[in-house]
Amino acid sequence: MKPSRFPARLAVVAVALASAGSILLYAQRPQRPPAPPKGPWMNTSLSPDERADLVLKEMTLDEKIALLHGVGMPTDDPVTPENAASNRGVGYAVGVPRLGIPGIDMSDAAYGVRSSQANGRYATALPANVAAAAGWDPDAAYEYGALIGRELRAQGYNMTLGGGTNLTREPRNGRTFEYLGEDPILAGTLVAKLIEGTQSAHVIGDIKHYAFNDQENGRNSGNVSIDKRAGHESDLLAFEIGVTKGHPAAVMCSYNRVNGDFACENEWLLKDVLKKDWQFPGFVVSDWGGTHSTEKASAAGLDEEQPGKFFYSDKFKAAVEAGRISQAELDEHIHRILRSMFAVGVVDYPRQRAVVDPFAGFETSRKIEESGIVLLKNNKDILPIESGKVKSIAVIGAHSDVGMISGGGSAQVDPIGGSAILPPGQGATHWQQQIWFPSSPLKAIQQRAPGAKVSFDPGVDPVAAAAAAKGADVVVMFAYQWESEGMDLPSLALPNYKNGDKDVDQNAIIEAVTKANPHTVVVLETGSPVTMPWVDAPQAIVEAWYSGSDGANALGNVLFGSVNPSGKLPNTFPKSDADLPHPTISKPQAVHFDGPVSPETWAKGLPPFPINYDEGLKVGYKWYDAEKKPVLFPFGYGLSYTTYGYSDLDVKTGDTVTVTFKLANTGKREGAEIAEIYAELPASAQEPPKRLVGFTKVKLGPKEKKTVTVEIDRKYLSIWDEAKNAWSLVPGEYTFLVGGSSDKLPEKKTVSLQ
């Protein structure tokens, strides 16, 4: 399938930068001197808004216009005078050097800095965002963001394009791995921390793709229909929390239309909700090629066009000169951009390129993966594997001799030394190429079981794989589902893949292996949930997601028990596609333009096609609960090598609602339990059966018991009242449910709330 992306960039990005020429160019390019501190706006005791106004007064019309747009893809050759000073990431806005305002240098950085092989710097790959979400750990989310911020800065960037927060409404979305699950409170809480972490490194943080860009099929043309209440209580709530708690300097508006208008010229989304209701003081940047007009977009609240300058350069200037866009409107855009630069510190702390040591990030990456791995099944405690006792282990499938897979698209991080399944030296990655990180599960297992015979079979032929499995004490069988921006999964089934001219049916291989040897641990490397027709056959199932730079060691530590698994699913695993709100994913007639496209044609956009989110409020577990559909593994579910007990729930009401309970580790091993708090709203609220309203991750030694207190924001108990255009708490009886999984909530207490 051709990628439906902004025309100019397409697949050439990584290829162009891979050349030795561009590396040389980097080596020879002189370092930019730090911006000269000039003018009263350099007085750091003034507020970002005051400083921005002082700079604004000095700026010419041309300087203002230059800050409103990109300069083409800086990754594309040749280097132009406009992008010469850029770091050659994916976006750049020239600054105002005479006033000490640096250019804004942008790189994608969903789970690490993108395309860094080309400039010879490399980056740490963290586990996919969905894996971090499975850790349910705000502190870890901060570390995740902070590491990305530090590496961006060291590579010469001062703005990230990370912060993906679209809810998993459609789990076949090819970007599910880049997002933070199906619950708005979980996703919003985590992205807020991630943004805080990134901005702590004086790098402009962003949150994307605002909003309802919940599938990739037809993302440039889809017109999402959703009512305002459902919108506010689902996807928008995740963004609201991210924006109001994480204070990102930038919001990226998405490609799709929402209720008729493109998101980047949608007054409801940008002006009414984001800027007015949430009081967002930063700037809105279009997704790449997501700008479709000048006056309309400007009036609706789009502050910056990226990566080009079709609408926000000459056309914008002409509109200002002709009075079609007021000076005040222009100044508001500029003020927002400048105040964000001051607020984050990109003016006061100019970037200094440094040599990134990507190995330094391995420990953080490994720990986040360790806390995000989800143990889905563990019959007869086959896990952890006892290294002193096990005599033979058969490792099978999914290139597990050499590596672990990663997610593709603009999120792709270049693996150090190149993809594990390619000849050495091919470090730069290509658009929608499956990339395997050189982190070998086979080696990690061998190291942890030095006394055992550890064999490997590629898992491409059911008969050979069954023979390899037969007789081993333990089989560790790997299976994967690869996904990427620019495409959706055809279904949640584990995909078949090609090996030479052979079609490998992963489900058939798992069936053959588990039949030959039931002492099998299936390890999944996926971004989205998968269906498992074989679920009863293996003794254990482990979800390892896309596991980052040091994934194999994290997995090894969990399999052999030096780490006790504590992750819980941020997405429901349904039994089949037929159980989803939309059994088939909506697809447009035309998913992309054929051939090169003029900006005028692009501006008009592809004809809209309907994406009807008529499940409304019922996203993820709320859908399965409401529709009474049994699932394979529920939201919030995950096992541990120890057990936990909940008791003594108490709920106190006041300005906030305080939930207190006792949590005990009833087993023999130290562990960390994610305690989940749900609420059932009064019937008159007409809500799905229950919603997550709070959570906390608690570390407990063997037999240790702690009193746990969680404050619940009343907004999280409220509904969106369309008539009042505000959150509103419906007076009545609220039942609080507490436990370790959305389907297992042993503690229950009902209180009255007004």
Tell me the catalytic residues.
287
Distance CA 358, CA 160 (A): 17
Please report where in the chains the tokens 């007064």 appear, as a residue: 57
Strands 671-680 and 732-739: antiparallel
- Taking Cα atoms as reference points, which of 345, 341, 348 lies closest to residue 38? 348
In the complex, minimum distance from the CB of residue 346 to ligand BGC, in angstroms, rounded to a whole number: 18
Strand pairing partners for 477? 396, 522
Length of the chain: 754
In the complex, minimum distance from the CB of residue 416 to ligand BGC, in angstroms, rounded to a whole number: 22
Strand pairing partners for 375? 542, 639
- Taking Cα atoms as reference points, which of 440, 443, 475 lies closest to residue 459? 475
DSSP string covering 55-104: HHHH--HHHHHHTTB--S-TTSSSP-TTTTTS--SSEEE--BGGGTBPPE
Residue 179 or 678 having the CB closest to ligand BGC: 179
Written as six digits, the tokens of 286 are 């279009």
Strands 540-543 and 520-525: parallel
Residue 161 or 469 having the CB closest to ligand BGC: 161
8 Å CB contact between 330 and 294: no
State how far Cα 547 lies from the chain centre: 13
Distance CA 1, CA 112 (A): 26
Residues that bind ligand BGC (CB under 6 A): 5, 90, 108, 161, 208-209, 287-288, 410
State how far Cα 213 lies from the chain centre: 13
Residue 209 or 315 having the CB closest to ligand BGC: 209
Distance CA 315, CA 134 (A): 46
8 Å CB contact between 417 and 595: no
Q: How many helices (H) and strands (E) does the chain have?
A: 20, 29
Residue 64 or 114 having the CB closest to ligand BGC: 114
8 Å CB contact between 400 and 108: no
In the complex, minimum distance from the CB of residue 76 to ligand BGC, in angstroms, rounded to a whole number: 12
Strands 474-480 and 520-525: parallel
- Taking Cα atoms as reference points, which of 290, 253, 547, 557 lies closest to residue 413? 547
Distance CA 434, CA 498 (A): 12
Residue 5 or 51 having the CB closest to ligand BGC: 5
Distance CA 525, CA 407 (A): 10
Q: Torsions phi, psi of 420, nearest 5?
A: -65, -20
In the complex, minimum distance from the CB of residue 583 to ligand BGC, in angstroms, rounded to a whole number: 26
Residue 178 or 676 having the CB closest to ligand BGC: 178
In the complex, minimum distance from the CB of residue 251 to ligand BGC, in angstroms, rounded to a whole number: 12
- Taking Cα atoms as reference points, which of 11, 13, 16 lies closest to residue 1? 11
H-helix or E-strand containing 185?
helix 184-199
Q: Tell me the H-state helices in 247-395.
A: 267, 295-300, 314-321, 327-344, 362-372
- Taking Cα atoms as reference points, which of 343, 611, 393 lies closest to residue 520? 393
Q: Could you tell me what percentage of the chain is helix, strand and coil, using 3-state DSSP and rounding each to the nearest 5?
A: 30, 20, 50
- Angle in degrees, CA 103, 108, 111, rounded to 5: 140
Written as six digits, the tokens of 343 are 């607020």
